[in-house]
Amino acid sequence: MSDNLQPRGSDETTLDQPLYTPIKRRSFFMYAGATAGATALVLAGCSKDSDNNPNDAALIDVGSSDVGVLNYAYALEQLEAAFYAQVLTGAYFTGAPAAEKAILTDISIHEKIHADFFKTAITAAAPTQIIKALEVDFSSIDFSNRTRVLEAAKLFEDTGVAAYNGAGRYLTNDTYLTLAGKIVSVEARHAALIRDLISNGTFADNTVLDANALEMSKTPQQVATAVNTYLRNGSKISATRLV
């Protein structure tokens, strides 16, 4: 309960901000004192908070070591593939210039290729450990709005790059490490182009690079917290055993 009153950590990604706008402590008590709706509000707050609680039994544990990283990548690729599939049915895409349609169509197919690849690869390598098909929740994204769609795409692509970079160290198998490398550079190409569509020249700015011009990779835990915003209850992931 008290966790609901905590401000967001400064190191959290901005990916989940739209759904997790913090309620100032004082405001919270003002609402809480407003009798009728108070209990419902508090319960809603608890439910919301537990979405990202790594101890929640409903979370899907991607596992550890090589299979854990593959499941983690599979989860991210499923999310991206589902996102672009929905983009392609949205009003923004329908009315978009031909060049943007071509770009988004290409990316949507790349992501589907990645997701289906991991499904087959993990099924072959560890049939009992593969995670299920995830159910997504993009209700916070307005698919009729170009800016909203491209900003979401930017977050998914940047997060994907940071995730692969951060997880490479947990792979023991050379083949898998090379495969992750083959995919992450394509994700980086996507990320750069989506950023250039939003604002030309922002392909590698200081929101994703550090002072040494290295990409700022993210830990599996950071990424899981960020992407769980876009996964339904029962499909949210935990990556706490990738350490």
Partner 1 sequence: MNFFQIIEEIEKVDPEVYDRLDSRRAIFNSLRGIGQKVTLATAPLALSALFSKAYGQTSTIPAGVRGVLEFALGLEDLEYQFYRQGLDAPGLTATLTGAGRTAITTITAHERAHQIFLRTALGATAPADRGAAPFDFTGSKGGTRQALFPTVYTDYNTFLAVAQALEDTGVRAYKGGAPALKVSPDILTAALNIHSVEARHASHIRTMRRTIAGGVAGTPSLSASPKSWISGNDGGGPAPSATAGIYAGEEITTQATINLLTNTTPNPSVALASESFDEPLDAATVTAIASNFLR
Contact residues: partner 1, CB under 8 A: 98-100, 102-103, 106, 109-110, 112-114, 116-117, 120-121, 161, 164-166, 168-169, 171-172, 174-175, 177-179, 181-193, 196-197, 200-201, 203-204, 209-217
Residue 156 Cβ vs partner 1, minimum distance, rounded to whole Å: 15
Nearer to partner 1, 122 or 227 (CB): 122
Helix 174-198 vs helix 98-125: angle between axes, to the nearest 10 degrees?
160
Nearer to partner 1, 41 or 85 (CB): 85
Residue 168 Cβ vs partner 1, minimum distance, rounded to whole Å: 5
Nearer to partner 1, 57 or 213 (CB): 213
Residue 73 Cβ vs partner 1, minimum distance, rounded to whole Å: 13
Following DSSP, what letter does each residue of the chain receive, concatenated? -GGGGSPPPTTS-GGGGGG-PPPPHHHHHHHHTSGGGHHHHHHHHHHHHHTT-TT-TTSEE--SHHHHHHHHHHHHHHHHHHHHHHHTTSHHHHTS-HHHHHHHHHHHHHHHHHHHHHHHHHHHH-TTTPPPPPPB--TTS-TT-HHHHHHHHHHHHHHHHHHHHHHGGG---HHHHHHHHHHHHHHHHHHHHHHHHHSTT-TT-TTTB-TTS-B----HHHHHHHHGGGB-TTT-EE-TT--
Nearer to partner 1, 25 or 182 (CB): 182
Residue 193 Cβ vs partner 1, minimum distance, rounded to whole Å: 4
Rounded to an integer, what distance in angstroms lies between the CA atom of residue 172 and that of residue 168? Answer: 9
Residue 241 Cβ vs partner 1, minimum distance, rounded to whole Å: 16
Nearer to partner 1, 16 or 77 (CB): 77
Residue 159 Cβ vs partner 1, minimum distance, rounded to whole Å: 12
CB contact at 8 A, 62 and 68: yes
Nearer to partner 1, 108 or 229 (CB): 108
